[in-house]
Structure 1
Amino acid sequence: MTLVETFFNYDVLAASFPALMRGLLTTFLLGIAGIVFGVTAGLFISLVRLYAPKPFRLLAVFYIDIFRAAPVLVVLILIYYALPFLGLRFSSWTSAALALSIVMAAYSAEVFRSGIQSVPAGQFEAAAALGLPFIVTLRLVVLPQAMRIVIPPTTSNCVSMFKDTALASTVALPELLKEATDAQALHANPSPLIGAAIIYIICLWPMVRFVSLLEKRFQKEKVR
């Protein structure tokens, strides 16, 4: 067989296309779930780390350090295979979403912490002088400024999150890579894997370019 027939077999790609689209939908929904829950939890954890009483701050630091150090695959395996021994059993979908959200929250918390701390302390002092409560100051003064700083790294983390959804195939979740692997076995041809790789690139390349554009834009604003 030629290179094209082996890796870019049109008939095999056409036959496996519906399965790849089903896998892409699962990948998309899983990535969105991990991002929404992870970023939301990350913001909360960052606020706990910065402003909560010391025991809670230490707990937040411990969480961030542990789950930034632990690979997503390890967290996924622990949730799916280890927790049932403790009486907690989750589906493949729930396990994957939890693992991605937990790790995303750790990275997002560190990004938000950095963004909030980059806002000058004088902003709090000025707001206090105007009689604004701390929560109002945080919501209306500090967080809007911090968000502009955290958008590029958060978007970059989102790209990584979508790539990490491929790890869900280890718990038999039919996401894009799992569907491609099954199609490869069915047709005895690696073309579905190449098709999945192309789909990943098509979907994630615009996000990568978006991150670059954001970074350039914010660098220009800093220069001004």
Structure 2
Amino acid sequence: MENGFVGELIGTAILVLMGNGVVSNVLLSKSKGQNSGWIVIATGWAFAVLAGVVTAVALGSQGHLNPAVTLAFYALGHFPGNEVLPYLAGQLLGAFLGAVLVWLTYLSHWKNTEDAGIKLACFSTGPAIRAPFANMLTELIGTFVLVFLVVAIFNKAVGTTGVLGPLIVALIVYGIGLSLGGPTGFAINPARDFGARIAHSILPIAGKGPSDWSYAWVPIVGPILGGIGAIAAARLAGMI
């Protein structure tokens, strides 16, 4: 029985648990993975995508895990309107739940980490250089690449099926993180950032600072515009 809400909820929770989990492992004080670097973060996020998508599909959703993907396909007529809100709700709640699980997993490490900015980075993204318009463009371009290539790998001419599809999507995310992730931390997913930012704002995280809501629009607007642009470009190119 198909259930898009449940699939997106649990799949996104796993995505954020493993994705923000690897960030926490690399950044938090006294973690055994501390200072292991950007390659580890990008790799962890790729596996997070693979695990989340496979889980979501097994539970009956299409495995979007990302409002930018859902809204892009809906805007171009490739996703039913009655499924949009359940998908978005599942993604947002799943991201929140995943962030709560990250907090619990690293519960003893928050008080041992002095930098409040590092704690926020374990939940939501932030720019290396704060330039909101440029940061938004980075997120737009990264999401454009993600969605455009997702369309390409599931094109009938390519014929990607089974677990191979999610695996290739994970590798695409890995490549985006390595190539385009430096300026903003490659949110490329409004729910992954917004849901976890909400969790940061309300959880009793030891020594936390503000949740930087003034930046929160960037990983929302950029990915949504990038996803819609990618679907439009794929249609113009005859891919869909």
* TM-score computed with the length of structure 2 as normaliser: 0.32
Which structure has greater helix proportion? 1
* TM-score computed with the length of structure 1 as normaliser: 0.34
Q: Which has the higher Rg, Structure 1 or Structure 2? A: 1
